[in-house]
Structure 1
Amino acid sequence: MKVEVFEMERMQCTWEREVDYEFSESGVHPLHLNELLEGDDEVKEFLASPLGYPHADGTPKLRSRIAATYRNVITENVFVTNGSSEANFIAAWSMFEKGDEVVIMVPNYMQTWGLAKTWGLNVKPLKLREELGWQFDPEDIKSLVTKKTKAIQVCNPNNPTGAIMAPEQRKALIDAARDSGAWLLSDEVYLGAEREAPMTESLWGYHDKTLITNGLSKAYGMPGLRIGWLIGSPEALDEVKPHHDYLTLTPSMLSDRLASLALEPERRKRILARTRSILQKNYPLVREWMEAHGSMFTHVPPAAGAVCYIKYSLDINSTVLADRLRKEKSVLVIPGDQFGMDGYIRIGTGPPKDYMHGGLNRIDELLNELKAGERTA
């Protein structure tokens, strides 16, 4: 079967380890193992871990700790996966049939969009509007969602904009799902990566037909563990599990152990505080860099996630701009084309500050060359 190419992931997988400055990542600078393990006894216990198969749906300890981070969730509502991308995939695979109607928030992490196109679904975009602070118009969802709609898929907090869904939009979304009987699929992998706001409330618990996906990659700074999860009713998870059997079967035993440590309540608080601190230090740096360029850049300040979604006024296609930055300056950014929106780039704000300065200086070099070219054209 031919698949819709996942342009962003293909670009990242190809180039993210080949550049001097990797600004395509949307999570904070990753933790090191010695920052997670505390004390000699904990290190010894981890090194004594057996290298067998773990529980297929995650160990009870890990599932219990995940459940404790939600309201009205028990262990039976949790299914552990290899990253949140696998959670997104098996949720969609278990649910959709060719010809189904699905409403998908855009811009978004375009995985479900690509799968829907590959499988021949009728995809209806729910557009976030920059003039509304990257919120959707509640009237739009009323017109898009019908009794034929199989699912509504959202990303909250949003990638690439960093917006958190406002109360009016939350209510409109939940009302639309309830009234239509559609499934609500909510990608919440940036929950906990709020820069100033309180932690975003999950959409769990407001509609019976809900599946939540999340993981440790973004807000927790541990993408290398490849631990994600699904939150759903036991009956809904039973529909998902047979699809998982055709993929990775189980999470990694070592990753399961480390994830359990990371989600110990006090340690989790420290990890998320680290994330907030990084975002609070780095966003002003990027904002000041944009302001130094005058009217070239505009943006809506991101509320969450290590991302800044930037509109630019240069007369150059976003993919061409990203390719030139990679080839000429060894900097990797995400072009807006990969979210269906030319004229934008997404810059990651999670690296160390010195690294951020170095990469932004490289971008400046190309911007100055482009501006000089426009003046002489």
Structure 2
Amino acid sequence: MNIKPFAVEEWMNAYETGARYNIAETCVDSISLDELFELSGTHKESFLNKLCARRLTYGYIEGSPDLKEGIAALYHTIRPDEIVPAHGASGANHHVFYSLINPGDKVISIMPSYQQLYSIPASLGAKVEILHLKKENSYLPDLEELEEMARGGVKMICLNNPNNPTGALMSPEILKKVVDIAKKSDAYLLVDEVYRHLTQDDEWQPSIVDMYEKGISTSSMSKVFSLAGVRLGWIATHDKDALKQFWSHRDYNLISCGMMDEAIAALALASKNQILERNKKIIRENLDILDHWIQKEPRLSYVKPKAGTTALVYYDFPIDSYTLCRRMYDSCGTFVTPGDCFDEPRSMRIGYAADRDTLKKGLQAMSTFLDSLEAE
């Protein structure tokens, strides 16, 4: 299998640990177990004593009941038996393609988006067609273009909602029209929903699985619940044939998730309201900080995100994004992601869900660096 290098992850791997101001991170400011116990009102010693007394077997092969009930509660119509636990959302996405896509299958994916959604099916021999999201359309899909691309049949349509890196959010009306397009081909509709619930308003954000029988939702504990260290994600769908394939293929590459990860995730999901209240407050206050900063920077522009934790910010300096981001990292310690990782030249992805102090100092240092470019 030949697959393209994963541009975003290779960049993060190379520079993240040495960053002074990490505003490339896409998870909401992570929490410790102590903070989780406090947020959930859980007695620490009781929880840990119970966990430490467990024998380290494989645990529940198909996922613990508490975990799956907690995940199901994030949807309106999904049952616990329609959930397949995975190793993070990245593991969930890979597992969907590994289970359902064959050489020659037609797959439509969007760009910019998380690279898994187009590079993995291409590596499996699928015929991948790209629907480019445009800044002038607020990074929302052109539905007429999508319908034309799907004409003649398509095996799977892949979306990312809310979008990474732009923070665009498809409305229920847009999703309904995408579902109508998918139905014409009886296509699977995979939506990476790893940022779902992280919105700038309090309206319920529907999941694709509550709108379409062949909808497939992937997500994880990393972004929304600030628990990236718990390597746990999931696939959710009503489609029985897809579920059969997921479970069959899972025996070959996973068997089960870690019982300790599942116990911590189940605790967090039982306390989802408290965590979401914390995390929505962070992203809303921090986006205001980012927005005010961008308005004061004459060489920068963006479409203000509607959801998620990231923004795609364009600059008008005559320098490629890898060079700009490396020079900025070396000069002032501010770490962001080059837009070229998403095939978006002269831009950078900024993650605004870090702790407020890191975000403010990182942006301030970036202003100083941009001023130095202006003077060149």
Q: Matches of 2:134 and 2:312 in 1, distance apart?
A: 13
Q: What is the identity, as a one-letter code, of the residue corresponding to 1:263?
A: L
Q: Secondary structure at the match of 1:360?
A: helix
Q: Secondary structure at the match of 2:18?
A: coil
List per-residue Cα deviations over 1:114-154 (Å, max 9, x = no partner).
11232232211122222222211221111111333110000
Q: Matches of 1:231 and 1:293 in 2, distance apart?
A: 42
1:85 aligns to 2:90 (yes or no): yes
List per-residue Cα deviations over 1:39-80 (Å, max 9, x = no partner).
243343333343221222211221122112211111110111
Q: Matches of 1:194 and 1:88 in 2, distance apart?
A: 22
Structure 2 unaligned residues grouped into runs of 5+:
none
Contact 2:84 2:246 in 1 (8 A): no
Q: Matches of 2:48 and 2:121 in 1, distance apart?
A: 44
- Distance change in 2, residues 1:3/1:218 (3 Å): same
Q: Matches of 2:227 and 2:206 in 1, distance apart?
A: 22
The TM-score with structure 1 as length reference comes to 0.94
List per-residue Cα deviations over 1:296-315 (Å, max 9, x = no partner).
11111111111121121111
The CA deviation at 1:197 is 4.2
The CA deviation at 1:112 is 2.1
Contact 1:177 1:207 in 2 (8 A): no
Q: 2:151 aligns with which of 130, 133, 146?
A: 146
Matches of residues 61-80 of structure 1 in structure 2 within 5 Å? 61-80=66-85
Mean CA deviation greater in 347-356 or 325-334: 325-334
**Residue aligning to 2:11:** 11
1:257 aligns to 2:260 (yes or no): no
**Residue aligning to 2:31:** 31
1:201 aligns to 2:206 (yes or no): yes
Kindly tell me the number of residue pairs found equivalent between the two proteins.
370
Structure 1 unaligned residues grouped into runs of 5+:
none
Q: 2:229 aligns with which of 224, 228, 234?
A: 224
Q: Secondary structure at the match of 1:366?
A: helix
- Distance change in 2, residues 1:367/1:125 (3 Å): same
Q: What is the identity, as a one-letter code, of the residue corresponding to 1:366?
A: F
Matches of residues 319-334 of structure 1 in structure 2 within 5 Å? 319-334=322-337
The TM-score with structure 2 as length reference comes to 0.94
1:118 aligns to 2:132 (yes or no): no
Matches of residues 226-241 of structure 1 in structure 2 within 5 Å? 226-232=231-237, 233-241=239-247
Q: Secondary structure at the match of 2:132?
A: strand
Matches of residues 127-138 of structure 1 in structure 2 within 5 Å? 127-138=132-143
Contact 1:27 1:305 in 2 (8 A): no
Contact 1:4 1:117 in 2 (8 A): no
Matches of residues 151-230 of structure 1 in structure 2 within 5 Å? 151-230=156-235
Q: Secondary structure at the match of 2:253?
A: coil
Q: What is the identity, as a one-letter code, of the residue corresponding to 2:243?
A: L
Q: Matches of 1:191 and 1:171 in 2, distance apart?
A: 17
Q: Matches of 1:68 and 1:214 in 2, distance apart?
A: 13
Matched-pair identity in %: 30
Q: What is the identity, as a one-letter code, of the residue corresponding to 1:34?
A: D
List per-residue Cα deviations over 1:181-224 (Å, max 9, x = no partner).
11100111101111224231101133222211011111111111
**Residue aligning to 1:370:** 373
Contact 2:23 2:358 in 1 (8 A): no
1:335 aligns to 2:328 (yes or no): no
Q: 1:276 aligns with which of 271, 280, 285?
A: 280
1:287 aligns to 2:291 (yes or no): yes
Q: Secondary structure at the match of 1:356?
A: helix
Q: Matches of 2:110 and 2:60 in 1, distance apart?
A: 34
Q: Matches of 1:364 and 1:47 in 2, distance apart?
A: 49
Q: What is the identity, as a one-letter code, of the residue corresponding to 2:25?
A: E
1:309 aligns to 2:312 (yes or no): yes
Q: Matches of 1:248 and 1:362 in 2, distance apart?
A: 43
Q: Matches of 1:234 and 1:76 in 2, distance apart?
A: 10
**Residue aligning to 2:56:** 51
